[in-house]
Amino acid sequence: MALATYALLCFGSLFSIVDPFAALPVFLALTGGQPPESQKRTALRASLTVLVLLLTFGLAGSLIFKFFGITMSAFKIAGGIVLFGLGLEMMRAKDSPMRSTKEERHEAEAKQDVGVIPIGIPLLSGPGSIATTMVLVGKSEGPAQHVAIFIAIGAVAFFTFLILRSATLVERVLGRTGINLIGRIMGLILAALAMQFIIDGVREAFPKLVG
Segment 58-105, tens digit of pLDDT: 998 778 888 888 888 888 888 889 888 888 888 887 666 655 556 655
d(CA 107, CA 89) in angstroms, rounded, equals: 23
Between 186 and 97, residue with greater pLDDT: 186
Q: Count of domains in the chain?
A: 1
The residue among 209 and 7 whose pLDDT is bigger is 7
Classify 92 as helix, strand or coil: coil
Does the CA dihedral 198-202-204-207 come out positive or negative? negative
Output DSSP code: residue 142: S
Contacts with 40 (C-beta within 8 Å, 6 or more apart), sequence order: 165
pLDDT in tens, 164-177: 999 989 988 988 88
H or E element in which residue 158 lies = helix 143-165
Range of the domain at 21: 3-210
In tens, the pLDDT along 132-151 reads 998 888 888 888 999 999 99
